[in-house]
Structure 1
Amino acid sequence: MPHQQQNVRSTVEGDATKIDLWTSTDMSRFDQDVHVIPIDSVMRRFRSNHETGLSSAFVSEAQTCYGSNQITPAPSPNYFRLLFKQLFMGFNSILLVGGILALIAYQPLGGSESSITNLGLGIVLLSVPVFNAFLNVYQKLKSIKIIAAFAKLLPKSVPTRRDGVEQHIPTIELVPGDIILIKMGDIVPADCRVLTCEGLKLNSAELTGETKPVSITVECTSENLMETTNLGFYSSLVEEGMGEAVVVATGNSTILGKMSRTTQESSNERTTNLHREVNRFVLFVLVADITSIIILWITWGGWLNNSHPTFITLIGNILNSIGMIVSFLPVGLPSAITLALAIVTKRMSQQRILGKSLQIVESFNSVSIIATDKTGTLTKNKMVVSEIFWDTDNGCKVFDDG
């Protein structure tokens, strides 16, 4: 599918020359060769200059085309819709029907003969799906808050050269072509091509999972975009040295931004094996329930109510229908499944493993071997001393103040 493109013409104040600012929605043109072509070609492509940087007038036009330098977060889910979906999923739908019938048997059909037992039965049957739904939504909300907190790790501003003057620019206002200055302790605010460096080493563990810092060079060392050492990627940590670089991609167009977008597109929850088995069982129970209830009402309406009107009343027949629903369905199974998944998720969180939803935990039932390593993609990639041991005359002392 061809990339959408647009040509934007603007006139820079103080310069009679009109410039063509070429942009692409995903800037794929720049991704292919920005690390291979000479630095002069990179500067011409982005209408920049190593000594003076971009002009303020050009930046205004560029910000309109490229947008802000921030990765678009995943859209916040509609919690009412999510709650509604959970309420009518699997066993919950059958229990809701049973609970509603029990309340109907209590009021308005109960009248003076209404039994408090029917009310209690209705509350119990309705509380189970409501509990399951709220537990699933709570787990989803908790994981979203944790993931959103990672965005706060990026710097608020970055030293940038514009109009020939070095100034601190808000990170979200960077555009391709900006000349930025990075030093030890900084976080690279965008994908950039290195112009000069002095002992510069970058740690891209947030992106690649590799904890070993990479020595940065000005020259291209590989045609592979991810393996060359003359690029700095958004979210990388400067562990040593300093340098200057020209921004080549911002926000959603960075490597990290594209990975985030791909993750969001593929994050739609698929039906797990356990979910499929539960749905299959629910379908069987539903067919059996409906068939039995239809036979019950046909028998009652066509024969018992006419021949023996006092044998079973309308309320009694409704209660019989509820009894069939409950007898066919193991009422404790939905809560047991939800609680089991919630307990597993909590135990995982105690081991520093984030379960984004209870449905993800379901997939573990078909996993026998997990081959993985420590990536650092969801952590700061730093180690903190939590306990110190050393020998003394009286034995070993422990300090656990962190």
Structure 2
Amino acid sequence: MAHYGKNAPSDPPTHHTRKVLGYFFKGFGPILLVAAILVFIAWRPLGKPPAPANLALAIVLLAVFFIQAAFNMWQDWSSSRVMASIKTMLPDHCLVTRDGAQLTLLAEEIVPGDILTIKMGNKLPADVRFIGASSDARFDRSILTGESVPLAATVDSTNENYLETRCIGLQGTHCVSGTCIGVVVATGDKTIFGRIAKLTNEPKKGLTTLEREVLHFVLIICAVMLSVIVLVIIIWASWLRRDYPDWINVPNLIISCVSVAVAFIPEGLPVAVTASMTISANMMRKNKILCKSLKTVESLGSVSVICSDKTGTLTQNKMTVIDCALGNERMSVKQAHDALVLNQAQNPSGTHNALDQLRSLAGLCNAAEFDAATRRLPIEQRTIYGDATDQAILRFSEQLGSVAELRRCWQTKYELAFNSKNKYMIRALGLVHPDGKSMSLPSDTAAVFEPADILLTIKG
């Protein structure tokens, strides 16, 4: 442990002093602070007698200064929540064989050379070299690759590439079936997952487009403001002070210059920018898009087309069915549930339509399983063992009716696992009591529809 360190992603370097100073001195912060100090000086000791209005103005300027810093601090806090979720992707405990004895240790305590026992439902706490694997051992690597199809684990090397070979298990990947035994070969930041997490947490160099535009705007405003203030001082020194010595004294000159500066400063700019980006981020969050930083909202708003297979595998690795299509009719999950209830009420004899069969297909031809310990939780919060696609489809089926009751009536006779070449899986099912068989076939749409002669719709 002393040599290799803890098996956990290292925290990104944090310069607290620089970060706190950045909260206060971004944008117009320095100008507001200098203006407040000058007004305080104009109140005392230069004010004879001290003017209460000057004190009030200084307090207002300081209040705006701290409010701006508070908004900057809140923005930084909101953007750090996503990065904190990376550590939750790793398991807490693991089964380790060390010095001939099997122990349950914290995942952060394992070191290279430890032998791990991995079972279905476990996540790999480190990169391992498999030395034993059952024939049905499969690992979901979607957290790293985005590909939801599980890969088989083998003892023999299948590729010289560390990332491609099947004899290596990568940290954070999920065992969806089978059992394996592996030797730890990398921990912490030296794992593939750790390297990705470290790159994600590294501070970005340079300014974003929004920061450059705001900085450019601030510099223009400051240049114009300083020019006007210098002009006011020149007019006062060369004319007003000489011809009207009792009209504007030094404290009043300071107040006048500060008033000119405050007139040029859009104090609400930081608040307005942060508020507008927050509103945009909340709108994106409702559509299952979580922004790492509010500054990325502006960059994303400039994009015309986004080409993506699937997202969220690093932060959540959770897919959700939001609607379904039956023939040429599309409906949300709630609409599908209501239509199914209505059909059952209108056809108590048990006549099935396409929606019934879709619900049965989603629940029966599915390799995922609910964790019995979480059966009392809402469907969205229940733990499921299986790959991300099967989890999403199983939750969809459960929302339409109890999958456990459905599976109780059927037993699997034959199963052909999904593969990326055929783009389908087959599961032959038989009724538990009476004689009868059914075949379910979830797949790529084109793989089934092209050879099909008959299509069952929601109406029959």
- The TM tier, using the shorter chain, reads 0.7 to 0.9
CA distance in 1, matches of 2:45, 2:114: 72
Partner SS state of residue 12, structure 2: coil
Paired residue for 1:235, among 124, 147, 172? 172
Aligned to 2:352: none
Aligned to 1:391: 341
Shift of 1:310: 1.7
CA contact (8 A) 2:83 2:201 kept: no
1:51-90 equivalences in 2 (<5 Å): 63-78=1-16, 81-90=18-27
Partner SS state of residue 289, structure 1: helix
CA contact (8 A) 1:206 1:235 kept: yes
Q: Point out the more displaced range, 307-316 or 124-133.
A: 124-133
CA contact (8 A) 2:82 2:315 kept: no
Closer, same or farther in 2 for the Cα pair 1:189/1:112, shift >3 Å?
same
Shift of 1:128: 3.2
Return the letter of the residue paired with 1:273. T
Q: Are positions 1:296 and 2:235 aligned together?
A: no
Aligned to 2:244: 308
Q: Are positions 1:378 and 2:328 aligned together?
A: no
Shift of 1:308: 0.9
Deviations 1:36-94 (A, max 9, x none): xxxxxxxxxxxxxxxxxxxxxxxxxxx3332222221224451x532322322222322
- Structure with larger RCO (C-alpha < 8 A, sep 6+): 1
Aligned to 1:279: 215
Q: Are positions 1:170 and 2:106 aligned together?
A: yes
Shift of 1:239: 0.5
1:201-216 equivalences in 2 (<5 Å): 201-216=138-153
Shift of 1:185: 0.7
Partner SS state of residue 246, structure 1: strand
Aligned to 1:154: 90
Aligned to 1:114: 51
Closer, same or farther in 2 for the Cα pair 1:153/1:335, shift >3 Å?
closer
Paired residue for 1:358, among 294, 297, 314? 294
Aligned to 2:118: 182
Shift of 1:365: 4.8
1:114-133 equivalences in 2 (<5 Å): 114-116=51-53, 118-133=54-69
CA distance in 1, matches of 2:207, 2:296: 10
CA contact (8 A) 1:136 1:358 kept: no
Partner SS state of residue 391, structure 1: helix
Shift of 1:192: 0.8
Closer, same or farther in 2 for the Cα pair 1:343/1:65, shift >3 Å?
same
Q: Are positions 1:220 and 2:170 aligned together?
A: no
Closer, same or farther in 2 for the Cα pair 1:172/1:86, shift >3 Å?
closer
Paired residue for 1:141, among 67, 77, 83? 77
Return the letter of the residue paired with 1:74. P
CA contact (8 A) 2:120 2:178 kept: yes
Partner SS state of residue 65, structure 1: coil
Return the letter of the residue paired with 2:116. I
Closer, same or farther in 2 for the Cα pair 1:329/1:136, shift >3 Å?
closer
Aligned to 1:35: none
CA distance in 2, matches of 1:326, 1:160: 65
Q: Point out the more displaced range, 136-145 or 244-253.
A: 136-145
Q: Point out the more displaced range, 69-78 or 230-239.
A: 69-78
CA distance in 1, matches of 2:90, 2:173: 10
Aligned to 1:260: 197
**Runs of 5+ unmatched residues, structure 1:** 1-62
Closer, same or farther in 2 for the Cα pair 1:261/1:149, shift >3 Å?
closer
Paired residue for 2:270, among 334, 338, 341? 334
CA distance in 1, matches of 2:121, 2:319: 13
Closer, same or farther in 2 for the Cα pair 1:64/1:315, shift >3 Å?
closer
CA distance in 2, matches of 1:99, 1:164: 70
Return the letter of the residue paired with 1:188. L
Shift of 1:269: 5.0
Q: Are positions 1:251 and 2:188 aligned together?
A: yes
Deviations 1:149-186 (A, max 9, x none): 44234333322222233332332222222221111011
How many residue pairs align between the two structures? 334
Aligned to 1:26: none
Shift of 1:114: 0.7
Q: Point out the more displaced range, 132-141 or 346-355.
A: 346-355
CA distance in 2, matches of 1:391, 1:383: 22
CA contact (8 A) 1:144 1:356 kept: yes
CA contact (8 A) 2:121 2:176 kept: yes
Aligned to 2:36: 99
Q: Point out the more displaced range, 81-90 or 99-108.
A: 99-108
**Runs of 5+ unmatched residues, structure 2:** 323-332, 347-376, 380-460
CA distance in 1, matches of 2:117, 2:215: 57
Closer, same or farther in 2 for the Cα pair 1:258/1:363, shift >3 Å?
same
Closer, same or farther in 2 for the Cα pair 1:76/1:346, shift >3 Å?
farther
Closer, same or farther in 2 for the Cα pair 1:292/1:382, shift >3 Å?
closer
Closer, same or farther in 2 for the Cα pair 1:379/1:125, shift >3 Å?
same
Deviations 1:339-363 (A, max 9, x none): 2223223333333333333333333
Deviations 1:196-244 (A, max 9, x none): 2111000122222222211222222222222221111001111001011
Please give the TM-score of this superposition, normalised by the length of structure 2: 0.65
Q: Taking every aligned residue pair, what percent have the same amino acid on both sides?
A: 35
CA distance in 2, matches of 1:287, 1:383: 52
Please give the TM-score of this superposition, normalised by the length of structure 1: 0.74
CA distance in 1, matches of 2:10, 2:276: 34
CA contact (8 A) 1:82 1:137 kept: no
CA distance in 1, matches of 2:226, 2:253: 14
Aligned to 1:367: 303
Aligned to 1:10: none
* Cα RMSD after superposing both structures: 2.9
